[in-house]
Chains A and B, each alone.
Chain A
Amino acid sequence: MTPSDDARVTLLLSLADDELILGHRHSEWTGWAPHIEEDLAFSSIAQDEMAHARLLYNLVGPILGRDEDSLAFGRQPEEYLNALLCERPNLDWGYSIARQYLYDTADAVRLEALTSSTWKELADLVEVLRLEETYHLDHARVWFQRLAEGPVTGRQRLADGLSTGIGEAVAIFEPLPEEEALVSDGLLPRQNEDLLADWLGAVGEELERVSLDFVLERHRSVGEMVPTGSGEVEEVGQAFNVPGLVKRDGRWTHEGGFAGAGGRRGRHSPDFQALWEEMTGLFRAHPGARW
């Protein structure tokens, strides 16, 4: 069966919206990051994500007869298909860095698969995007190492951030609407379930190497993150098993449900409304204006 235009659009918008919304969040650190050279690095990563969104919108735009700004700023909240992970506020640096690590490692798995997409323009574009993503991965890994292997407060902040983000990071791989058709036609060369398995296996190993794999065993919901000053992880009742994450034969895998799913169907968290109003307000206040 051939995927409908709708399915192609869903695939592209889920990619583009992830990049736009997360790029938007990353860009909020510009001028505020806790180390001035890091401010510059993180801002470049933010710009990359937004630029990638722009390229993806321009790929899907002709199908919909809409331009890049109309897509980025002119849709209703339920029409955005980003993962919930991307729309959460920046909280503190520990969460933001953990999120960058979780997202970019996941994105790398997804993009690698898409280089074999039968949609040639998408495959070609993805090859280019991956070149820029290498820096994001280097950046994430350098921070991951330094915090995981550094003083206990930094390690704790990283662990807290990972705990807070891991459930929704898994949902990056929430199956898309019409995914079967997309896969059988090769637009999406591999099922999200397979991509998730690869990503989780790799992340599980990295976390085990630095003894942070406990974050896969329990997570907090975003609103309840409690910064700890001690070296202990607080068991205060709001921590619970990450839905669907289990260890089988020594490897972390996902089975069953997703926490924080719904993004691919336009169902967002309460955080999205405020983001959307801020991001689209000026555009919508002056319809048709040029800036």
Chain B
Amino acid sequence: MPVWDVFGKRTPGDEFVLVGGIKAPDTEMALVLARETHFRHKEGVAYGVRRRGEEELHVGSYDPDLIGGVTDRSYRRQEAYAGVGGKLKRVARQMAEQGLRIDRPRPPQHRSQA
């Protein structure tokens, strides 16, 4: 089964850059598979596949907006978890107030009370 090199553009003004590879039996399948293999986290606005040993770059036809999904993907994006560190501090404070914090020897930088 052929290997295809996969190219992507991060922004409309970029050139296509190699981002990885896939295995697929033909061009149509390669285009369908490359999209979710290499761009499901919105890593690009356009992408293309080129069969190893060949010259032609086949460019995917999806609008930039569609690549990586249209509806809410926050459940798998960094921004949605930005508050987690703060939450850990809050929970740690609660645990300390309830006397549940475990007070065993720890490295110097971790000694400050929450």
Chain A residues packing against B (C-beta within 8 Å): 35-38, 40-41, 43-44, 48, 51-52, 55, 128-129, 131-132, 134-135, 138-139, 142, 145-146
Contact = CB atoms under 8 A, between A and B. Distances in A.
B26 interface: yes
B72 A41 contact: no
A51 B71 CA distance: 8
Given A55-B71, A131-B66, A139 B28 contact: no
Contact of B70 (A41, A128, A139): A128
B70 A37 contact: no
Contacts of A52: 71
Contacts, number: 57
A128 B66 contact: no
Contacts of B92: none
B71 A40 contact: no
B71 A37 contact: no
Interface string B1-40: 0000000000000000000001111101100111111001
A142 B66 contact: no
B28 A142 contact: yes
Most buried by A among B28, B36, B66: B36
Given A37-B22, A37-B23, A40-B40, A132 B32 contact: no
Given A37-B23, A40-B40, A44-B40, A129 B32 contact: no
Contacts of A135: 32, 35, 62, 66
Contacts of A146: 25-26, 28-29
Given A38-B33, A41-B33, 10 more contacts: A35-B23, A37-B22, A37-B34, A41-B36, A51-B71, A55-B71, A129-B71, A131-B70, A132-B71, A134-B66
Interface string B61-105: 010011001111100000000000000000000000000000000
B28 A37 contact: no
Contacts of A37: 22-24, 33-34, 36-37
B28 A145 contact: yes
Given A37-B23, A44-B36, A142 B29 contact: yes
Interface range for B:
20 to 34
B102 to A, nearest CB: 24
B33 A132 contact: no
A132 B24 CA distance: 23
A51 B40 contact: no
A131 B68 CA distance: 12
Q: Which of B32, B34, B35, B73 has the most CB of A within 10 A?
A: B32
B32 A139 contact: yes
Contacts of B33: 37-38, 40-41
Contacts of A36: 23
A156 B34 CA distance: 27
Nearest to B27: A142
Interface string B30-52: 00111111001000000000000
Contacts of A129: 71
A35 B22 CA distance: 11
Contacts of B24: 37
A41 B32 contact: yes
B58 to A, nearest CB: 13
Contacts of A43: 36
B70 A132 contact: yes
Residue among B66, B70, B73 with max Cβ neighbours from chain A (10 Å): B70
Closest 3 CB pairs of A and B: A37-B33, A41-B36, A44-B36
Nearest to A130: B70
6 contacts: A35-B23, A37-B37, A44-B69, A128-B70, A131-B66, A135-B66
